[in-house]
Amino acid sequence: MNVLITGGAGFIGSHTADKLIAAGITTVVIDRAKPKYKNDQAVYYRLDLNDPETEEVFRTHAFDCVIHLAAQASVAVSVADPIKDASDNIMASVRVIEYCKKYNVKKIIVSSSAALYAVPQYLPVDEKHPVSFLSPYAISKHTMEEYVKLSGLDYIIFRYANVYGPRQDPHGEAGVVSIFIEKMIKNLPLEIHGDGEQTRDFVYVADVAEMNCRAVLSPASGVVLNVSTNTQTCVNDLFSAIKQNTDYTLAPNRAPSRAGDIKHSVLNNALAAQALDFSPKTALADGLKETVEFFKRTY
């Protein structure tokens, strides 16, 4: 098979590229960033998806499948610059979809977000939960989903929970895991907002990459699937678990709750387990240990 990963030089994309290549799948990457974690067996193009030159990559390689991971991932940026957010998450996605149709790509797999569930009405959140939006980012991801559904292509839409693991950037719109780890290995002060009892569903990046790979090979199509562990972890427990793997000596600073933060979030992953015969299996303690070791080597 011949697969394109957009955003394949990024956090989830680079792990997905490694997984596909290990499975013997020819892998091409388009990313506007210089690859920091480059697999020598992949072909890389440094392009913005809105650049007309992107079409030439589709014309040249005749892809069987596209994994579309490239995105503007910051909620804060989407609020401050909704034009950029729409350009990166809607217009770029539409271009990818149209190229897939024009060059007879058999299947598209796209990354969406648990942000579409906003404040959950029930837990765990399944794929039938109503969508609602607290940011332009969530709106742009949902719009991308709708374009995919109307495309006529075979598709799988993944809605990711809180992905963490090695190679995650601790700066910018980083996840709480990478932010905590960087500060804790450097013994710097960190903040926990509110009482720290707010919960999230943390899923290890290697498991996410495995699901992306299985989606390429699976006959499943026309489905929206949660990518999660179906497990709630509160921020206080996350802090304690990371502390066990570091020499951190400080107590966390307590900060006020942030406006708009939801209290609890956990995604039901039963549908994905059924469709792909796999559910994330990396225990949080094991994933955090691997991630801390990576950060110690890197930062």
Could you tell me if 277 and 133 are in contact, meaning their C-beta atoms sit under 8 angstroms apart?
A: no
Whether 137 sits among the annotated catalytic residues: the reply is yes
Q: Which of 44, 45, 117, 137 is catalytic?
A: 137
d(CA 280, CA 84): 33
Residues annotated as catalytic are: 137
